[in-house]
Structure formats: structure tokens, C-alpha cells
Structure 1
Amino acid sequence: MTYKYSLTSLALATVAGLATGAQAQTLEMVVPFSAGGGTDTVARVFEPAFAEALGRTVVIRNNAGASGTIGAAAAAAADADGNTVGYLPIGPVAIQPSLRDTAYDLDSFSYICQTTSTPVFLLQAAEAENASVEDWVGQGTSDRVVYGSSGPGTIPHLAMAAFASEAGLNAVHLPFDGTGTAMNAMAGGEIDLFVDTATVLEANNVTALAVFAGERLDAYPDVPTMAELGYDLDFSVWQGLFGPAGLSEDQLATFASACEASVNSDAFADLAAKTNTGLLFRGPAEFETFVRQNAEMNATILKEAGLVN
């Protein structure tokens, strides 16, 4: 009788352990875009060193749709047992919740680390007659300028809308369904200006007029910052690692340590060199502060651009 009671107690203890979040050997990493895309590509370079530092198997699950919000919702809704994280970029975390009803908000996440921060450039067609930001400001205050974006609410849109507002431009926004079609439109003279990363700069017949960064980039020392030109604007495409709200301090510390090891790995350095991706590690507290401030700034820009009430 006593032996039977002990087995029952053991079974109950096992169930309780599972219910409270026993850590599995396999960690699921949710990526909110399809395989082969920009976020997925970086996540797959990040994963091996991260897994090695953790001493666990990490499996990437692509959960795409609704501008990344489906995957972000899945990461936020997971149990806070240390078995699920999300590798998420700026869009679904710090932009989309201002544009649509999402099943999560900023309080739905535990903030583990930032991994990348890639500044964006103000671009014009290489053959354009204007030669500087000042030229476009002169045109935009006396006539008008047309700028494109890869879609409403994207970083290219937000950065250009903020610049147009600060410079007092009579600017017309022409959204496209992606960067490729926008570049075709720029080549055809449909749009005057565009904002995007160095990858787009290098792949197209365009010229960089300024970079939306705090200081000049080593790879582009001749490109001035927006701040140098009198516009306090800093925009980047960033990514980071999130968990569901409620991760313990020990879990956060363990994940953040492994994250830092991966960001400092040779594989990540190679990625940065090949794709012009900016690497930046921020730990949990600093990352959370940054994300909340970034989301608040983006919400203000969206409101001023008339995209939200």
C-alpha cells in the first residue's frame, strides 16, 4: 500500500514538473517569416553558435503571415518554460501593433537580447540631377518630391516620413509591394527618393545621400549622417531574441549569455561582412528599454503620417 502511494506521488510530481515548465533538451526558435527570407537567413546563422553555447538543440520553426505578426504572436503565447523563443525583427514587435490589432503587445514578451542593427540610407537614382539632401529639400519646399517605400509602415516608409516632416517637404508617398518593384520605379523616374539598407544600395544603380545613423559608417565614410545635415534622425532595421513574458532571471541570463556568444562568433562576423548587416548586442534590460522607446517613436511617426488615429 505504501509502495503504491509512492508511485502515485512520483507520477503527480512528474506531471507538476511538466506543468511548471521543465526544460527540454530541444529549444524551439520561432521565425515569423518564411524560409530563405532576410530574417530567416540571419536566424540560421545565429542558431548554431547560440545552440552550442546553451548546450541544447535549437530547432527553427518558420511561422509566417500577416507581416510577421502570426509568428510573433506564437512566440508571445508560448509557455514561459524556457523551451520557446522568437527571433523577431523590428516590424512585428515595434511597428505592426500600432497598425493593426495584434494578439500581443510589448508586455507580452521577455526581452533577451538584440543581435543586429543595420542603418538605412537615403537613396536617389544614380543619374538624378540633384546631388545632395539640400537639393531635395530645396525642391521639396518649392515644388514636391515623390518617395517610395516597400509598403506602408515599413522602416523605409517611417524613416522617409520622419525626414519629410522635419524638413518641411511637400512629399508624396508611393508604396510598393517590395523593394524590387520600388527600385524599378526609381529607375523609371516614378519616384525621387527611397530609404533602405546597404544591401539595396550595393545591388542597384542608386546613390546614397545620407545615412540615418548616429555616426558615419566605416564602410561608407563619405556618406554624411542625417544629424550632420541638421536632422536628428536615427533609423535601423534591427532584430533580436524574445521569449514569452514571465521568463525567470536565470533563464534570461542564460539565454543572453548564449546570445552574446553567437553575436561575437566568426559566423556572425562573416555574415556582417557579406551582407552589410550591422551587429549589435544589447542585454535584457537595455534591449527592453530600446524596444519600448523605438515602438513609441514609431507610433508617433505613424500618427503624424496619418496611418493611425
Structure 2
Amino acid sequence: MALNARKVVVLVLALGLVMALSVTGCKREAAVGDYPARALELVVPYPPGGATDLTARALVSVLPEFLGQPVVVVNKAGAARLEGGEYVSSAAADGYTLGLFPPSVGWPEVHFNETPYTSEDLTIICRVVVHPTAIVVRSNSSIQTFDDLVARLATPGFQYGHTGVGANPHVTMTALAKALNAEVVPVPFKGDAGVAAALAGGHVELGVTTLPGILPQIQAGNVRVLAIYSPTAVTELEGVPTLGELGYDLEVPYADSMICGPKDLPAEVIAKVEEAVRQAVEHPSFKKIMGQMYTPVAYLNYADYAAEMVTTKEAMKQLMQELGLIN
């Protein structure tokens, strides 16, 4: 009898465990099905005011219409921009913590020798826009044209400000200097706002930054654009050439902004975010703001962007090694 009683107890416990696991699984499925059921965070790895921050704020102004919940921008600027990436990579894989990242944060192992996380710790959901990179000087600078800049770069030790080590402006200028056989001194600042402040304060004569981040200074007449790094010219900047038009084909990937989440995001969450972003970037309000920022909308969905990244990441890694920026 005692043996039978023990068998009954074991059987009851086993059945209870199975039921508990079943209930947990149902709750998880219900939770994913109800996603999103509360507000989301969209992490920006820069201070307020730069291109990525402005794009994020434009996006969250329309995204709730398609997600059905508020989305709040959270700025986490520090540790070479990787603080924001680490925050998202360590978040719960429930879709409530996302990031709007440049490649240097989305694929940090391609841009830095040592990183607290890699792209394998993230889910890269889609691309939103591509930010043109601008090479600028103060309006009162004696450097009037790109040819003037080339002449100045012939003297070793010329300093320029950029948005952070490994970021697209830094890589672009490093590649350009190599093409010109010029020796330059890069000075990193915290994002576009830091470069703008350094230019205004006379701390550097040249700035290499994203175009939207320096645009208010351009429109105010405080800085002059010598050239941009972009697949196409910006019609609003009459007479400003692209580096390609000037004969410099640098093979530096352009400055994407991508939506990322933690790894192991459920497929249903990825699909919902992907579709909501697709609809948001087509919203007239978002497109108007991007137009005002001289930034082309360049949406790519999860599958297409993943396919593109296979070659882009490898090309970027090789370039970073050739330029001596990583081992």
C-alpha cells in the first residue's frame, strides 16, 4: 500500500508539472499574441540632437499609430556608443526594448577590437534610413572648397573632429585621408552635437559628421559643406558634390540606421515591429521630417537586410583592417 501511495504521489506531481508547463507555454503564446501590451523603449546611443536621435523622435511620433502603444526614446550615450547597444543586448527578449543603431553599434565587432557584446547578441530587424555624411568647416574658414581642403591636408597633422571612433564619419575620413596619402589627426566627440560645438568653439577647423546632425548650423550660415559622402547628391545643397562625383570611391558602407532588439526575439514580435516600422516610414509626417533633414528613407525588411549584411559586414571588416582601425 505504501508503495502504491508513493506511485500515486509521484504521478500527481508529474501531472502537475506537465500542467504547469502547459499553462506557462500558453501564457507565453498569449503574451506574444498580445504584443505589444505596454509602452516600448527605443534606445539611441547618442546624446539628444544628433541625426540618430532626430530620426528616432520622428519615428516614435508616428510608430504608436501602427503598434498601438507609446514608444519612448531613451538616450544612452557613453563608452564609444556601446552603452546603448549593451543595454538592448542584455534586455529581455520580449520586444519592449529596441534600439535605433548605426552599424558601429549594430555590428560592434566589425568596428572595435574589444566589445561587451556582438551582433550575435542582437536581432537586427530592419533598416530605416541612410544618413549622408558631411565634411564641413566654419563659414569664416579660409578653406572655401574641397580643393582647398586637399591642399591643406598636404601638410601633416591637420586635425578634424568626428562623431566617435569607428563611426561612419571617422571611417569615411580615414579612408579619404588614405586615398589622399594625407596624415590627419582625428579628434572624437560625442555625436553630431559634440562636433558642432567643437566647430563653433574653434576647437577644430574641420568636422566630419552626419548631415542631419549639422544641418541647423548649415541653415544658420555658421558652417559650410565642402562635400558629402552619400550614394546621391542632396538637391537642397546646391553645388555641394558627393565624394564619388569628386572621384573618390571609398567603398565605405553608408551610414545606415537600423532597428535592433535583443537576440532570440520571437518571430511574431519581429514581424510586428518590422511591419509597424514599414508603415511608419511611409507616413507623410515621417517622410516630411526626413525631407527636412535631407535624409533619404531607405527601408529594408528583416530578410532583405539580413542578406545585404552578409556581404556588407565582411567588406566593412576588411576595410577597417586595411585602414588600421582594428586588428
Shorter-normalised TM range: 0.7 to 0.9
Structure 1 residue identity aligned to 2:248 = Y
Q: Percent identity?
A: 25
Asked if structure 1 preserves the Cα contact closer than 8 Å seen for 2:196 and 2:217, the reply is no
CA RMSD of aligned residues (A): 3.5
Match of 1:28 in 2: 40
1:145-184 equivalences under 5 Å are 145-176=158-189, 178-184=194-200
For 1:218, which of 235, 254, 262 is the aligned residue? 235
Structure 2 residue identity aligned to 1:124 = V
For 1:272, which of 290, 294, 316 is the aligned residue? 290
Please give the TM-score of this superposition, normalised by the length of structure 2.
Answer: 0.76
Gaps of 5+ in 2: 1-11
CA separation of 1:41 and 1:15: change in aligned 2, threshold 3 A: same
Shift of 1:58: 4.1
State how far apart, in whole Å, the 2-side matches of 1:150 and 1:70 are: 15
CA separation of 1:27 and 1:88: change in aligned 2, threshold 3 A: farther
For 2:217, which of 203, 207, 212 is the aligned residue? 203
Gaps of 5+ in 1: none
- Indicate yes or no: 2:54 matched with 1:46: no
Shift of 1:306: 4.2
Deviations 1:2-39 (A, max 9, x none): xx999986544222334678324226334144784544
Structure 2 residue identity aligned to 1:197 = T
Match of 1:229 in 2: 246
- Indicate the SS of the match to 1:128: coil
CA separation of 1:256 and 1:129: change in aligned 2, threshold 3 A: same
- Indicate the SS of the match to 1:268: helix
Asked if structure 1 preserves the Cα contact closer than 8 Å seen for 2:253 and 2:316, the reply is no
Q: Which moved more, 1:123-132 or 1:295-304?
A: 295-304
Deviations 1:44-80 (A, max 9, x none): 43235333323x4244363624344233223233444
For 1:286, which of 304, 313, 319 is the aligned residue? 304
State how far apart, in whole Å, the 2-side matches of 1:175 and 1:35 are: 14
1:15-164 equivalences under 5 Å are 15-18=24-27, 22-23=31-32, 24=35, 25-26=37-38, 28-33=40-45, 36-38=48-50, 39-54=52-67, 56-60=68-72, 62=74, 64=76, 65-95=78-108, 98-99=111-112, 101-141=114-154, 145-164=158-177
Structure of larger gyration radius = 2
Please give the TM-score of this superposition, normalised by the length of structure 1.
Answer: 0.80
State how far apart, in whole Å, the 2-side matches of 1:20 and 1:57 are: 19
State how far apart, in whole Å, the 2-side matches of 1:228 and 1:274 are: 23
For 1:194, which of 207, 223, 241 is the aligned residue? 207
Match of 2:263 in 1: 245
Deviations 1:127-150 (A, max 9, x none): 333443233324433666332224
Instruction: Count residues in correspondence.
Output: 303
